């Protein structure tokens, strides 16, 4: 059975689709596509059905990573569907935990930056209202964190 990851940000058009597609890219390179499944969602419904932000898409494409998918909102049912839910920042983290009123799934929710090996940031910053440097920073941070996450999964969750 595949290990299932859900990446979550606010609107599901910048950070979480970038994380999903970067992770898919790394998973494919490691020949683990049949063992690790990735998806993304947003805590808000602002952009439901929208493709990834064009600026984020262009920045990722410059690194050879195509951002695919359509925005959707995080749903309570996602707790059952995924083995690990990765929040991009503390607000996303708190919003996800707030849906789990009984605390049954809290152990499945982590901050994305916990897996970063070269960056010291505790949160993935939202680049939406900033310039190009913000998008580059997010891609750098997510490449680092996704690499660390993949190592963690390979060591502890795959047979």
CB 46: neighbour CB atoms within 10 A? 13
CB 152: neighbour CB atoms within 10 A? 14
- Which member of 14, 15, 72, 113 is catalytic? 15
From CA 63, how far away is CA 89, in angstroms rounded? 23
Token pair belonging to 150? 């993949």
β-pair partners for 4: 37
- Which member of 9, 38, 113, 146 is catalytic? 9
- Which member of 53, 78, 126, 144 is catalytic? 126
Does residue 123 contact residue 88 with C-beta atoms inside 8 Å? yes
To the query of whether residue 55 is one of the catalytic residues in this protein, the response is no
To the query of whether residue 146 is one of the catalytic residues in this protein, the response is no
To the query of whether residue 78 is one of the catalytic residues in this protein, the response is no
Q: Is 55 exposed, middle or buried (0-12, 13-18, 19+ CB in 10 A)?
A: middle
**Active site residue ranges:** 9, 15, 126
């Amino acid at each position: 059975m595949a290990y299932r990851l859900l990446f979550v940000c606010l609107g599901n058009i910048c950070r979480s689709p970038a994380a999903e597609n970067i992770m898919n890219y790394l998973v494919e390179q490691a020949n683990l596509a049949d063992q690790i499944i990735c998806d993304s969602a947003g805590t808000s419904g602002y952009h439901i059905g929208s493709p990834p932000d064009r600026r984020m898409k262009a920045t990722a494409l410059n690194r050879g990573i195509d951002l695919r998918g359509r925005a959707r909102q995080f749903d309570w049912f996602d707790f059952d569907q995924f083995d690990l839910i990765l929040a991009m920042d503390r607000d996303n983290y708190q919003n996800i935990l707030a849906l789990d009123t009984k605390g049954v799934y809290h152990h499945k929710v982590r901050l994305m930056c916990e897996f970063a090996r070269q960056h010291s940031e505790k949160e993935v910053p939202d680049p939406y209202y900033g310039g190009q440097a913000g998008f580059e920073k997010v891609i750098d941070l997510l490449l680092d964190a996704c690499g660390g996450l993949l190592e963690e999964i390979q060591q502890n969750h795959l047979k």
